A = this chain, B = another copy of it.
Amino acid sequence: MKIGELAQVAQCTVETVRYYEKAGLLSPPARTAANYRSYGDAHVDRLRFIRNCRALDMTHAEIHALLGLMDQAAGDCGGINQLLDEHIAHVDMRIAELSQLKQQLSELRQCCQSKQAVDACGILQGLASMETEQRHERHTHLG
């Protein structure tokens, strides 16, 4: 199976497949005489797994760790469960941050109810007078 076909069954682009190989997420496949990449079923499974993880907004580092844990068939799955818990925490934290942001933005939006002169716009005044505060360190890889 050539790269175009693999990309199609995994619903991603050819470039993305090549990128995952370079990034170390997908192992380099065999090559044909013409130097074309030649994939098998194991690659299909792996790539779909990776795409599913990405659809859940995991980072490459998280996916890499997951693949490593997966390949140690000897151990138990405690590490896997933990990794997922941590990622769920990332999502939770980002939701909380964005909810607070939305609150701030809604309050700001209240400051101007109708079209008026730019100089009088409460939104601009609000943006000018907000307390500038050091940006918090991020606790999550999500935005």
Residues of A within 8 A of B (CB): 10-12, 45, 48-49, 51-57, 66, 69-70, 72-78, 80-81, 84-85, 87-88, 91-92, 94-95, 98-99, 101-102, 104-106, 108-109, 112, 115-121, 123-124, 127-128, 130, 132-135, 141-143
Does the CB pair A55–B88 fall under 8 Å?
A: no
Number of copies of this chain that the complex holds: 2
Q: Chain A binding site: helix, strand, loop or mixed by DSSP?
A: helix
**Roughly how many angstroms separate A99 CA and B102 CA in the complex, as a whole number?**
14
Residue from A10, A116, A130 having most chain B Cβ neighbours under 10 A: A130
Chain B min CB distance to A86 (Å): 11
Q: A51-B132, A81-B112 are in contact. Are A91 and B95 (CB under 8 A)?
A: no
**Roughly how many angstroms separate A112 CA and B88 CA in the complex, as a whole number?**
14
- Can you name 22 A-B pairs with beta carbons within 8 Å? A10-B132, A11-B133, A12-B135, A48-B128, A48-B132, A49-B127, A53-B127, A54-B135, A55-B133, A56-B104, A57-B101, A57-B143, A76-B118, A77-B116, A77-B123, A81-B115, A81-B123, A84-B108, A88-B102, A88-B105, A95-B95, A98-B98
Does the CB pair A87–B105 fall under 8 Å?
A: yes
The interface residues of chain B lying within 8 Å CB-to-CB of A116 are 76-77
Contact partner, A101, options B91, B102, B105, B112, Cβ 8 Å: B91
**Roughly how many angstroms separate A128 CA and B87 CA in the complex, as a whole number?**
17
